Amino acid sequence: MGQSDENESLINPKDFQSTSIQVQFRNANSKTPLKKEANVTLTEWLEKGLVIEVPSRTCATGHSAAITLSAVRGAEKLMVVNMTVKITDVENLPDFRDRVTLSFVQYEEFEWKKLLRLFASRQDEIEDFFKKVRGY
């Protein structure tokens, strides 16, 4: 919307949509997929890994897991990246949640970089928009 021309509509439903990442996690050691309602969130990109939040006792350090990251905007799936990871750290959090650090074992590097670029370019757009809005 920031780059919209004068004829664009006043209310654009797309302005209210956010691009988010859905995480599917399957522990390869316990072979048990997480329940659909289990909330897994991605909190940090690492150079060759991720930090996610999962229900407690989902996995332990040293376990392997299969992860699918889907970038979604509204009902549209923008891209999907599959990877095999090793759990390198598990930190217990309040409310029966764990902060889990994963490092990639096998992953689609091209897709992974594309996903990072998707978010990095949105971050750049936001910074640019802020500069224009403020005027400095």
3-state secondary structure of 63: coil
Contact with another protein (CB under 8 A) among 24, 28, 53, 105: 53
Identity of the residue numbered 134: R
Tokens of residue 71, six digits: 């970038």
Residue span binding another protein (CB under 8 A) among the ranges 27-35, 58-66, 80-88, 118-126: 118-126
Which listed range, 25-33, 60-68, 104-112, 123-131, lies at the site for another protein (CB under 8 A)? 123-131
| Residue (14 or 31) nearer to another protein, CB | 14
Task: Tell me if 133 contacts another protein by CB under 8 A.
Answer: yes
136 is a site residue for another protein (CB under 8 A): yes
The answer to whether the CB of 59 falls within 8 A of the CB of 27 is: yes
Token digits for 44?
A: 């940090």
Of the pair 42, 105, the CB lying nearest another protein is at 42
Tell me if 97 sits within 8 A of 119, measured CB to CB. Answer: no
* CB nearer to another protein: pick between 31 and 87: 87
Q: Which residues pair with 66 in a beta bridge?
A: 26, 84
| Integer Cα distance of 136 and 102 in angstroms | 39
CA-closest candidate to residue 88, choices 115, 116, 52, 55: 52
Residue 129 engages another protein in binding (rule: CB under 8 A)? yes
User: What residues make contact with another protein under the rule CB under 8 A?
Assistant: 1-2, 4, 6, 8-21, 41-47, 50-53, 74, 91, 93-95, 97, 99, 119-120, 122-123, 126-127, 129-130, 132-136
